[in-house]
């Protein structure tokens, strides 16, 4: 496992606490500290891939695994039937805050449109 000192690496290493809901050989899932919906979980590969722009063919299994974990967690959270949103932000225009690729699992209420109408152009 590659690691560095980013926030999510510290949670993966146990150096700072996280509300962990699932751990597999290649990913850790924990609740977002600032949830945008009743369920808001971050699914994070152990391997540090900063952004989607850094993805390589070697990452195919790990990235596919994010969906397997997301599906399981949606069932565990009781949100599978009504639906949910899976989201990966990339870079500045994607509003990515933590540069360790991660998938957001968001649900538990109607989520509205995919993008808010009030985003200001830079
Ligand atoms: P991004 O904008 O990079 O896609 O998402 C980063 C997410 O990490 C945000 O939703 C933010 O609330 C969450 N976050 C930031 N700091 C922490 C933290 O210390 N612990 C947890 N669990 N989530 C965090």
Let me know: does 107 contact 39? Beta carbons within 8 Å. yes
pLDDT at 104: 98
**Which numbered atom of ligand 1 lies nearest the CA of 34?**
12
The residue to mutate among 48, 97, 105, having the most atoms of ligand 1 within 8 angstroms of its beta carbon, is 97
Q: What is the largest CA-CA distance in the chain?
A: 41
Kindly report, residue by residue over 73-104, the tens digit of the pLDDT.
999 999 999 999 999 999 999 999 999 999 99
121 band by pLDDT with thresholds 50, 70 and 90: low
Kindly report, residue by residue over 32-69, the tens digit of the pLDDT.
999 999 999 999 999 999 999 999 999 999 999 999 99
Let me know: does 83 contact 107? Beta carbons within 8 Å. yes
Is the distance from the beta carbon of residue 95 to the nearest atom of ligand 1 less than 6 Å? yes
**Which numbered atom of ligand 1 lies nearest the CA of 87?**
4
pLDDT at 9: 97
Does residue 102 carry a catalytic annotation?
A: yes
5 band by pLDDT with thresholds 50, 70 and 90: confident
Residues in contact with 101: Cβ distance below 8 Å, sequence separation at least 6, in sequence order: 44, 45, 49, 50, 51, 52, 54, 55, 88
Q: Tell me which residue has its CA closest to atom 24 in ligand 1.
A: 33
Q: How far is CA 60 from the centre of its chain?
A: 16
């Amino acid at each position: 496992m590659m690691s560095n000192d980013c926030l999510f690496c510290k949670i993966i290493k146990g150096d700072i606490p996280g509300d962990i809901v699932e751990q597999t050989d290649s990913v850790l899932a924990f609740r977002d500290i600032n949830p945008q919906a009743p369920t808001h979980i971050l699914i994070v590969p152990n391997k540090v891939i900063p952004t989607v722009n850094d993805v390589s063919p070697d990452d195919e299994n790990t990235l596919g695994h994010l969906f397997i974990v997301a599906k399981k967690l949606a069932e565990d959270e009781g949100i599978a039937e009504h639906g949910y949103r899976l989201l990966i932000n990339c870079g500045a225009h994607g509003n990515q805050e933590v540069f360790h690729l991660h998938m957001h699992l968001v649900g538990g209420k109607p989520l509205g449109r995919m993008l808010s109408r009030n985003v200001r152009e830079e």
